[in-house]
Each structure stands twice: as C-alpha cells, then as structure tokens.
Amino acid sequence: MAIWRIAEAEDFFLEKVPISRAITHPHKRLQHLAGRYLLQHLFPSFPIHLIQIADTRKPYLPGESHHFSISHCGSYAAAIVSTIHRVGIDIEVPVARIKKIQHKFLSEAETWLLLSGVPAAQALNRLTLAWSTKEAMYKWYGLGEVDFKAHMGIYSMYAEGDSGFLKALFTKDEPTDLQLTYQFFEGLVLSWVATEQ
C-alpha cells in the first residue's frame, strides 16, 4: 500500500506511466496518473498497459495476476496491490454533507456504535470513516450492485489515536467477515482491506 501527495506536474508521471483514457480535467488527469504511478512504485513489473475498466468502473487486470485498488482525493492518491489477496482502498476528506446522507449507508446500530459518546466535533470524522470503510469494501468486492446499508454492517471498532480498525460483515452473496484498517492524517481518512481470495 502507498499514499502519494501530488505535488508534481503531469510530465513527471507521463515519463513513467501512460494515460490510458481521455481525461480532460487537469486535476483529474493528475490523480489518474498518480494512482497508476503508485501501482508501478509498489510492483515495478505491474502491467499497467493491461488495465481494463469493468462495467462497475473498477479497474482490473484480466486473469487477476495482481489485485489492486486505487483511490484519490484532493492532492492525494492511494493504491494497494497484492498478488494473493483481494483488496480495496479509499481516501476521503470529511465534508459536512455526509451528515445529510448518513441514513442511506448506516443502520441505527452502526450509528450508535460509531457516534455514541463521541463529541460533536469528532462526529464528522467518524461518519467519513464509516463511508470510507464501506467504499473500501465496495472496491474489495468489485462486482457492483451493493447496498451500503443492507449488505455492509460495521459491528466493532478499535481506535488508538488517529488509527485503528473496524470489523464488518459483508453479506452480498456469501457472508464474509472483514477487518478494515484506517488512518486519519492531514485532514483525510484512509481505509483499506485485504483478504485471501
């Protein structure tokens, strides 16, 4: 897994990785390039030229020689790669609008678990953590058509400072217990998961 703070110009990345689709917005192009740069940083032989995009918009490699997930937010890109584990990663910046949609992705039990006794100033971070965790699970699954509230249930949380882990049950198809790790840094939250295939 790696995180990259994007401070370079596009040319820096283009020397190392090709842009594989027509992205016209300059910042989106940088994020796209930085994510693929990280794949090669983690695995120098990563076959970037073979990446395809599924109907669910998830990038993948035919034959799955490498499982990978990419996320970007603001000036950061994050990636996770494994040759043996299915993976998912997500990076988010806390924004107030998440409070308006929390009922769409959190059950009452999850809301109580994550927010009970938490000072109001930390509630936004906790809600963003829950969303990021479920985004990482969604990417881990990779097949789409997942209901964030019905198919993903967070049932345990361990926090120590700015990091920790959440335990969740993913119930789409075959029920699977997952442990997701998280880290808060520089106003962002990063969540990731890796499980054996």
Each residue's pLDDT expressed in tens, for the chain with a length of 197 residues: 999 999 999 999 988 887 766 778 889 889 999 999 999 999 999 999 899 888 888 889 998 889 999 999 999 999 999 999 999 999 999 999 999 999 999 999 999 999 999 998 899 999 999 999 999 999 999 999 999 999 999 999 999 999 999 999 999 999 999 999 999 999 999 999 999 75
Which of 20-49 are b and which e, b meaning 16 or more Cβ less than 10 Å from the residue's Cβ? beeeeeeeebbbbbbbbbbbbbbbeebebe
Domain chopping of the chain, boundaries: 2-83, 95-186
CATH 3.90.470.20 fits 2-83, yes or no: yes
- The DSSP annotation for 109-121 comes to HHHHHHHTT--HH
- How far is the first Cα of the chain from the last one, in angstroms, to the nearest whole number? 18
pTM equals: 0.93
Q: What is the pLDDT of residue 188?
A: 96
Q: What is the pLDDT of residue 96?
A: 93
